[in-house]
Amino acid sequence: MKKLGIIGGMGPESTLLYYKEIAEQFQKRETHGFFPELTIETVNMYKMLGYCLDGDYENLAGYLSQAVHNAESAGADFIILASNTPHVVFETLQAKASVPMLSIVEPVFHAVREQRLKKIAWLGTAFTMEQSYFKKIFTENDITVIVPTKKEREFIDQTIARELEFGIVKEESKKEIDQIIHRMISEESIDGIILGCTELPLMYADTILPVPCFDTMKYHINGIVDYMLRESNSDAGN
């Protein structure tokens, strides 16, 4: 069984969801009664965000590389970042790591492409909405990624930072974000939405939207469990 290393704490609510959902999905799909083996290395969310906001990607990569190393030392056979934001240095971290790392962006891209969508909205922290890294794989494959207006981005960012990061879901905040989504559908002609923050599913867990909605955490977790079971079966066959 491959041991998973989770770099978490960015924020704590999503780290809890990763652990819970991976364990539950593993039990549903694994017929031998095993729970997944994993280790969680928690980093300081505010330190990570400080590097991001300062554009200090060198120190961000150094800080997270130490977390990756700690997870490797704890026996992790592969590693994930339990947040969208730090993926801005994913390629640097993967190059320095001695074990595979699974991206949060790639599985949601494949899901969007399978539905043949051409214009999608990315909702998340202000940082992820404004960074080209998260759009790169889509634009390289002729899928347009757009983001809300500056004022809308600020509102979504503050809702995430002040409410969702602490597990707080306010109906009035959800209604405001709903209005943003409906405006983008009517004015920007988007045909899909990416929930590009691992806390946004807390708000949209039971909501049906007018266009397909892609939860990056959900597709990330699917890929993680697929990898663990595939590698487990591969080991058993050797």
pLDDT, block means (10 residues), the chain with 238 residues: 92 89 85 81 94 95 98 97 94 97 95 96 94 93 97 96 91 96 97 93 86 94 91 60
Instruction: Give the CATH class of 105-215.
Output: alpha beta
Amino acid at 102: L
Quote the pLDDT of residue 233. 60
Quote the pLDDT of residue 172. 97
Handedness of CA 148, 47, 108, 118 (dihedral sign): positive
- Judge whether 4-103+218-237 and 105-215 match in fold: yes
d(CA 8, CA 168): 19
Quote the pLDDT of residue 238. 53
Quote the pLDDT of residue 237. 54
Backbone angles phi, psi at 169, to 5 degrees: -120, 115
d(CA 120, CA 193): 5
Neighbouring C-alpha atoms within 13 Å toward the C-beta of 24 = 8
Of 131, 127, 143, 166, which Cα lies nearest the Cα of 214? 143
Quote the pLDDT of residue 234. 61
Quote the pLDDT of residue 20. 93
41, 6 in Cβ contact below 8 A? yes
* Residue the block writes with tokens 């990330």: 220
27, 230 in Cβ contact below 8 A? no
Quote the pLDDT of residue 156. 97
Quote the pLDDT of residue 94. 97
Query: In CATH, what is the architecture of 4-103+218-237?
Result: 3-Layer(aba) Sandwich (3.40)
Question: Cis link prior to 8 (omega < 30° from 0)?
Answer: no
d(CA 177, CA 163): 13
Of 14, 34, 7, which Cα lies nearest the Cα of 23? 34
Q: Which two tokens stand for residue 234?
A: 């591969």
Domain ranges of the chain: 4-103+218-237, 105-215
